[in-house]
Amino acid sequence: MDPLLQIFSLLKVDHRHPARLDTGGDWALHFPGSSHVRFGAAVRGACWPSVEGAPEPIHLQAGDGYLLTRGQPYTMASDLKLPTEEGAPLFRQQRSLVRYGQTEPDTSLVAGRFTFDELSSELLLQVLPSIVHLRAEGEGSVLQAAIHMLDHETRERRLGASLVTHHVAQIMLVQSLRQIAASPDRPAMGWLAALADPRIGAALQLMHEQIDRRWTVNDLAREAGMSRSIFALRFKQLTGSAPLDYLLRLRMRMACQALQTGERNVAEVAYEAGYHSESAFSNAFKRVMGVPPKTFRAPRRHNEAA
């Protein structure tokens, strides 16, 4: 399996309804921090998103997209020198389709938000900066198609809009990861950096494809065409983890996903993760997750029954 595809399969997304802002003239709206990852784009016009704690604002132009990955308070404005008004009450009052300003709208913004579970957040925050600017000229037709979909869905309230928003969010995440992996100015980090490295990436792909195999560092180094010591050093430099520690956490993330579905028992999940002993799996799971696998499943069953 493509490691990026597998990592995305581990992301538990709680997607939300899309929002739209049509505004004209001078305006500045402030939004509080939250637990959400926010994404959006300029359909027409331009504005300045400014995130608290970020070194500088970005200039968002028509066709550009953005991600705010840390749930920071932020401001969207035609001019950042203007006094701000709180934006959240406006969106609550107008049910997320907001017309704002004293003149005919000349700027249209579309946006959405989503949350991840703790494991997913760890995966993403390891590789994403606090703000990502997706420029129209560098992203081509894929980003523009996603923005067009958001524009279409937010012109009026449509059935299934949250589902479309979910898929657009995935597209924008992929585009963000691609941009970071290809950027000479901002070197990729974590598993994204490892995927971009030809030799380490090859070993990483095998780990994801054959997660149940009893890998050794020697095996992985051989597949990468490197000596054991150089491979182990390079792998840790890129991912921040030793090869087998990375594999352990990958297995536990996959196990978490399987346990949460409730479709397989602990022994079956253990076998799929490469463990022939349920007790060995349970010990490893507790060491990484802090709770035994059976306890991990309990809240899920309770919520489903509620």
Residue pair 164/153 in contact by the 8 Å Cβ criterion: yes
Q: Map out the domains of the chain as residue ranges.
A: 3-182, 197-305
What confidence category does residue 90 fall into, taking pLDDT thresholds of 50, 70 and 90? Answer: very high
Count the neighbouring beta carbons within 10 Å of the beta carbon of residue 170: 16
Count the neighbouring beta carbons within 10 Å of the beta carbon of residue 66: 24
* Tens-place pLDDT, residues 229-264: 999 999 999 888 899 999 999 899 889 888 887 788
Residue pair 173/101 in contact by the 8 Å Cβ criterion: no
Give 197-305's CATH code, choosing from 2.130.10.10, 1.10.10.60, 1.10.1380.10, 3.30.390.50: 1.10.10.60
What pLDDT is attached to residue 303?
Answer: 42
What confidence category does residue 14 fall into, taking pLDDT thresholds of 50, 70 and 90? Answer: low
Cα 154 to Cα 151: distance, rounded to the nearest angstrom: 5
User: Can you read off the two tokens belonging to residue 265?
Assistant: 């028992």
Segment 95-103 shows an average pLDDT of 87
Burial class (CB in 10 A: 0-12, 13-18, 19+), 36: middle
So what's the architecture of 3-182 in CATH?
Sandwich (2.60)
